[in-house]
């Protein structure tokens, strides 16, 4: 009997997982990918749309056409998962039995979780660039903006691509300088974090860069309400930040079907799993990849790519009745656009902070440092995405685990860092 693998989600994580599994198993298994539409969005490209540097037709393609021959595609919403019965119930009435289920449905934007935000979005005083329609609307709003206060607000964590609000701040500074009106625009980044980023070393570097560019940073701000009429962000402790235009990153959660599937998700709708093996805590035959997973790693496309190798090896072991031996170390890699044709690059994992040095080795791209080379790497990544990452191919010389070569580890902490990383392996 041919074993059945059902993958929920045809985005970055689901597509690369399907293609890797197809390459690994060939016709040994039947692979079916499920998604509610046929629009695969290259999400890093959304960042550039508000600044008229990107166009939607170039970053949106058919989901089905990104899958290798032999991988089935079923277009439908997911109603719920029957974990005990090993069945996925779809919105169109279809029932898909499985031997292995892969949850790859990412994170959903939940603006309704914040009081006043739906009204502000409807009024056109608040926008988000985290979806295609919002990015286009924000592009038009920025083109009309002649001066005033812009608040870039992260409502709560976790979010997809945690560096994106920082990148937007940097690009907005560059954009308004290019228009000659930067002196008439007040930019403020409002975050629930205690610094500019989630990791201390990178946070100091990025916070200093915000200061250099004249972007005010407001930290520890938990947004409770967006007051569209009054032009205010209001925190739960009654602090306020005024705005004429708000760029909001809404609360993120898992997809609705996760909460409708008893035992599958947590309170936010994400799926708890072993952060090393990616096996869900709900059942041994369920695995999680990408933004849907409740693990310590960032919700970023690079994480899904690095997880892919581990996922496939562990599904192979599971179907063979063997212990799961592949281990994900939390490897995350991200370009950070800093404006004016430059970018930074960070590379880290569960046990290692983003450090200075070179990536992926002593001769490579500069880490945690602005450079034109990193900017070109960011732009070139789109080609790599469509032709290497999504097809499930490996990048020569770069495996799933974070490389140590090229990084400058602090001498006093090197032993501690090495011990921590060995614990991650």
What is the token pair recorded at 259?
């909460």
Strands 332-339 and 342-348: antiparallel
* pLDDT for res 57: 81
The least confident of 118-122, 127-131, 176-180, 199-203 is: 199-203
Q: Which domains does the chain have, with CATH numbers?
A: 3-107+254-319 (3.50.50.60), 111-251 (3.50.50.60), 332-424 (no CATH)
User: At residue 423, does pLDDT exceed 60?
Assistant: no
With a CB cutoff of 8 Å and minimum separation 6, the contacts of 140 are none
Model confidence over 90-109: pLDDT tens digits? 999 999 999 999 999 999 99
With a CB cutoff of 8 Å and minimum separation 6, the contacts of 191 are 153, 154, 165, 217, 218, 219, 221
With cut-offs at 50, 70 and 90, classify the pLDDT of residue 141: very high
* pLDDT for res 422: 45
Beta bridge partners of residue 249, listed in sequence order: 154
What values do phi and psi take at 193, rounded to 5? -75, 165
With cut-offs at 50, 70 and 90, classify the pLDDT of residue 12: very high
Rounded to an integer, the average pLDDT of 124-131 is: 97
Rounded to an integer, the average pLDDT of 162-169 is: 96
* pLDDT for res 410: 84
Rounded to an integer, the average pLDDT of 200-204 is: 89
What's the distance, CA 389 to chain centroid? 15
Sign of the torsion angle spanned by Cα atoms 160, 161, 163, 166: negative
With cut-offs at 50, 70 and 90, classify the pLDDT of residue 241: very high
User: At residue 419, does pLDDT exceed 50?
Assistant: no
In whole angstroms, what is the distance from residue 188 CA to residue 67 CA? 41
- Rg (the chain; Cα; Å): 21
Average pLDDT over all residues of the chain:
94
In whole angstroms, what is the distance from residue 311 CA to residue 289 CA? 7
User: At residue 54, does pLDDT exceed 90?
Assistant: no
Best CA proximity match to 295, nearest among 328, 261, 336: 328
* pLDDT for res 395: 84
User: At residue 133, does pLDDT exceed 70?
Assistant: yes
Best CA proximity match to 296, nearest among 322, 260, 332: 332
What is the token pair recorded at 173?
């500074």
With cut-offs at 50, 70 and 90, classify the pLDDT of residue 412: low
Rounded to an integer, the average pLDDT of 107-131 is: 97
In whole angstroms, what is the distance from residue 285 CA to residue 367 CA? 38
Which helix (H) or strand (E) segment holds residue 345: the answer is strand 342-348
Sheet holding 216-218, edge to edge: 126-127, 245-249, 148-154, 185-190, 216-218
Model confidence over 326-385: pLDDT tens digits? 999 999 999 999 999 999 999 999 999 999 999 999 999 999 999 999 999 999 999 999
Beta bridge partners of residue 115, listed in sequence order: 225
Angle between helices 12-25 and 301-319 (to 10 degrees): 40
* pLDDT for res 416: 47
Model confidence over 306-337: pLDDT tens digits? 999 999 999 999 999 999 999 999 999 999 99
Rounded to an integer, the average pLDDT of 155-174 is: 96
What 8-state DSSP symbol labels residue 67? S
């Amino acid at each position: 009997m041919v074993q059945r693998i059902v993958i929920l989600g045809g985005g970055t994580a689901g597509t690369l997982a399907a293609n890797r599994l197809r390459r690994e198993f060939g016709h040994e298994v039947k692979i079916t990918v499920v998604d509610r539409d046929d629009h695969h969005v290259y999400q890093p490209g959304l960042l550039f749309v508000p600044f008229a540097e990107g166009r939607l037709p170039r970053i949106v393609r058919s989901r089905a056409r990104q899958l290798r021959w032999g991988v089935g595609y079923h277009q439908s919403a997911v109603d719920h998962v029957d974990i005990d019965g090993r069945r996925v119930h779809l919105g169109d009435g279809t029932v898909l039995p499985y031997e292995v289920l892969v949850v790859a449905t990412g994170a959903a934007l939940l603006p309704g979780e914040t009081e006043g935000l739906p009204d502000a979005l409807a009024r056109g005083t608040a926008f988000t660039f985290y979806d295609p329609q919002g990015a286009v609307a924000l592009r038009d709003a920025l083109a009309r903006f002649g001066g005033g206060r812009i608040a870039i607000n992260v409502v709560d964590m976790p979010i997809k691509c945690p560096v994106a609000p920082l990148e937007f701040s940097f690009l907005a500074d560059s954009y308004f300088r290019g228009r000659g009106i930067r002196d008439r625009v007040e930019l403020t980044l409002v975050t629930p974090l205690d610094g500019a980023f989630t990791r201390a070393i990178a946070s100091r570097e990025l916070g200093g860069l915000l200061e250099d560019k004249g972007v005010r940073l407001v930290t520890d701000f938990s947004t409770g309400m967006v007051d569209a009429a009054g032009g205010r962000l209001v925190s739960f402790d009654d602090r306020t930040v005024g705005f004429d235009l708000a760029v909001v990153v809404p609360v993120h959660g898992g997809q609705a079907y996760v909460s409708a599937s008893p035992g599958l998700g947590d309170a936010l709708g994400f799926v708890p799993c072993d952060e090393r093996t990616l096996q869900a805590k709900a059942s041994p035959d369920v695995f999680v990849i990408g933004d849907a997973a409740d693990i310590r790693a960032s919700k970023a496309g690079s994480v899904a790519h690095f997880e892919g190798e581990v996922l496939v090896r562990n599904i192979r072991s599971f179907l063979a009745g063997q212990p799961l031996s592949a281990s994900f170390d939390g490897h995350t890699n991200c370009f950070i656009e800093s404006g004016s044709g430059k970018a930074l690059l960070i590379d880290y994992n569960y046990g290692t902070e983003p450090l200075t040095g070179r990536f992926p080795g002593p001769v490579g791209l500069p880490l945690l440092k602005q450079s034109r080379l990193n900017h070109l790497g960011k732009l070139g990544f789109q080609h790599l995405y469509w032709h290497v990452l999504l097809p499930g191919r490996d990048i020569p010389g770069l495996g799933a685990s974070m490389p140590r070569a090229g990084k400058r580890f602090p001498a006093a902490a090197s032993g501690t860092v090495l011990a921590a990383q060995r614990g991650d392996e």
